[in-house]
Structures are given as structure tokens and as C-alpha cells.
Amino acid sequence: MTLARRSSACKSTRVAPVLLAVALLGGCGLLGGGRPAESPAQIATRTADDARIGREVEARLAAEPSVGAGHVRVDVQRGEVALHGAVTGFGALQCAIANAELVRGVRLVIDHLVLQPGPRTVRCLAPRNFAGG
């Protein structure tokens, strides 16, 4: 290999990692990975939807004899419902999740519930209709 060829081969081995790094770092922007900024109207609509979802999930859980009011805290962000607190028995856990999933606009239910000893099955009223839901 001549000196000129060796020099060109060394340059290409130095340039290749740099090009790869640039492609990886810039790839998300090029492929549309970034989410466009929301307008104030979109933020207001999303916030109102999340508040409605939270109220409806809380109402459903409060009406469930196996779960009861005040035992589960509900957090909603972008249609994703997080359930926090404690329930008695696996049946109550399944019932709480089922009630949250039935509310219009819920995209995902995240279970952060603590399972305390209790009945494995309960009578869950989940498939009932609520006003506004």
C-alpha cells in the first residue's frame, strides 16, 4: 500500500465514527421523533379531558363496595391513569383496574396499588353506566 492510499484509509476510519455519531444524534429529529408543541387551546382541552377522566374514575371507584371512597388516589396525565393506594384482595385490585379502563378517553391504566390480604374474587359493578361517561 502506498503512503497516499494509507493516508486516505486512515481518514476514512476516522470520519466514519464521526458520521455515525452525527447520524444517531440527529436521527430522531430527521425521522419525526419529536412531538410538535401544543397550542394553548390543545393544552386546555387535554387538561379538561384529564380532569374529567380523573373525576369519572374516582366516582366509579367510590361506588365499588370492594374498593370504596378514599382508598385509591387517581392521577391522570394525557389519558394515562395511575392508581395509587391500597386495596383488600386480588378481586378488589382487578375491579379497580376494570373500572378505570371503562372510562372514555383512558389510554392506559398504571397499577401502583398495594395488595393487602383479602378475597380473591369480589362482585364488581364495573360494567355499569355513569352520567357523562
Q: Is residue 133 part of a domain?
A: no
- Three-class DSSP labels, the chain: CCHHHHHHHHHHHHHHHHHHHHHHHHHHHHCCCCCCCCCHHHHHHHHHHHHHHHHHHHHHHHHCCCCCCCCEEEEEECCEEEEEEEEECHHHHHHHHHHHHCCCCCCEEEEEEEEECCCCCCCCCCCCCCCCC
Q: Is residue 124 part of a domain?
A: no
89 and 47, same structural domain?
Answer: yes
> Using CA atoms, how far apart are residues 37 and 98, in angstroms rounded to an integer?
33
pLDDT higher than threshold 50 for residue 133: no
Q: Identify residue 36 by its one-letter amino acid code.
A: P
User: Number of structural domains, the chain?
Assistant: 2
pLDDT higher than threshold 60 for residue 15: yes
The pTM of the full predicted model, rounded to 2 decimals, is 0.69
48 and 29, same structural domain?
Answer: no
Tell me: the pLDDT tens digits for 35-85?
Answer: 788 899 999 999 999 999 999 999 999 999 999 888 899 999 999 999 999
50 and 23, same structural domain?
Answer: no
Domain span holding position 88 = 40-116
Q: Is residue 131 part of a domain?
A: no
76 and 22, same structural domain?
Answer: no
Q: Is residue 132 part of a domain?
A: no
CB 98 within 8 A of CB 123: no
52 and 3, same structural domain?
Answer: no
108 and 44, same structural domain?
Answer: yes
30 and 53, same structural domain?
Answer: no
Q: Is residue 17 part of a domain?
A: yes
84 and 28, same structural domain?
Answer: no
Mean of pLDDT over the chain = 83
60 and 44, same structural domain?
Answer: yes
Tell me: the pLDDT tens digits for 84-95?
Answer: 999 999 999 999
